[in-house]
Chain A
């Protein structure tokens, strides 16, 4: 069966520091991968999606970037965090047709 992992689970970072959140998927090949941000427990905003290694599409302009160095690895990064980057970050995967997405456990980021 497929599983999706995210780490760290929680992160507290100062403003201006770099960020790296990691997501990995097991039990499937060539998944579509997604990064979402959720603010205040409501509403999921799609940040990035990827249909293959090195292929990243950005949905909203922002202070973050994403990379996919391996088939089942998706990384969310920032060079300098802003206060507004605080939130709950969720990674998800789907099959190549994208009908159904499955979410990871999430990373809670607090920027101080």
Chain B
């Protein structure tokens, strides 16, 4: 089956530093999604990517859909304490199905020290 390798598993950074995390897959995806989850809450969609090579920003967040369609990265610039949480990538193989079966990475736990 499809698997997503998300790295790093955890990060401890100082406030103001930039953060980078990525996901790689052995399979081709047509959609990449990045979510953030705060403790005890549901994941919140940060960025959605639909085209190979696409680079999309959302405030201090930037994500790219790899040109091979097998990878994606998420960057956070100038981190702040509220960036703390778990970040998940998710990939979707679309086409020919009437639902979207997402494959999730195992998450990156981000800790930001003030």
Binding site for B on A (CB under 8 A): 6, 32, 41-44, 46, 49, 51, 57, 59, 90, 92, 94, 96-106, 108
**B41 with A51: CB separation less than 8 A:** no
Cβ contacts under 8 Å, B104 to chain A: 43-44
State whether A46 and B101 are in contact (beta carbons under 8 Å apart), knowing that A102-B45, A104-B42 are contacts in the complex. yes
Residue B52 CB within 8 A of the other chain: no
B52 → chain A, closest Cβ, in Å? 15
Query: Which of B18-26, B58-66, B69-77, B91-99 touches A?
Result: B91-99
**B44 with A103: CB separation less than 8 A:** yes
Cβ contacts under 8 Å, B39 to chain A: 41
State whether A94 and B100 are in contact (beta carbons under 8 Å apart), knowing that A100-B33, A106-B40, A106-B41 are contacts in the complex. yes
State whether A105 and B41 are in contact (beta carbons under 8 Å apart), knowing that A42-B106, A99-B48, A100-B48 are contacts in the complex. yes
A103–B33 Cα distance when bound, in Å, is: 13
The residue that B31 contacts in the complex, of A41, A99, A103, A108, with Cβ under 8 A, is: A99
Cβ contacts under 8 Å, B99 to chain A: 32, 49, 51, 57, 94, 98
**B33 with A105: CB separation less than 8 A:** no
State whether A46 and B102 are in contact (beta carbons under 8 Å apart), knowing that A98-B94, A100-B31, A100-B48 are contacts in the complex. yes
The residue that A98 contacts in the complex, of B45, B92, B107, with Cβ under 8 A, is: B92
A101–B86 Cα distance when bound, in Å, is: 17
A43–B40 Cα distance when bound, in Å, is: 14
- 16 A-B pairs besides A42-B107, A98-B92 with CB distance below 8 A are A32-B98, A41-B37, A41-B86, A42-B86, A43-B106, A44-B104, A94-B100, A97-B94, A97-B100, A98-B97, A98-B100, A100-B45, A100-B48, A101-B100, A102-B45, A106-B42
A12 → chain B, closest Cβ, in Å? 15
A106–B35 Cα distance when bound, in Å, is: 15
B28 → chain A, closest Cβ, in Å? 15
Q: List 24 A-B contacts (CB under 8 A).
A: A6-B42, A32-B98, A32-B99, A41-B107, A42-B86, A43-B106, A44-B88, A46-B101, A51-B99, A94-B100, A97-B94, A98-B94, A98-B98, A98-B100, A99-B94, A100-B45, A101-B90, A101-B100, A103-B42, A103-B44, A105-B41, A106-B40, A106-B42, A108-B40
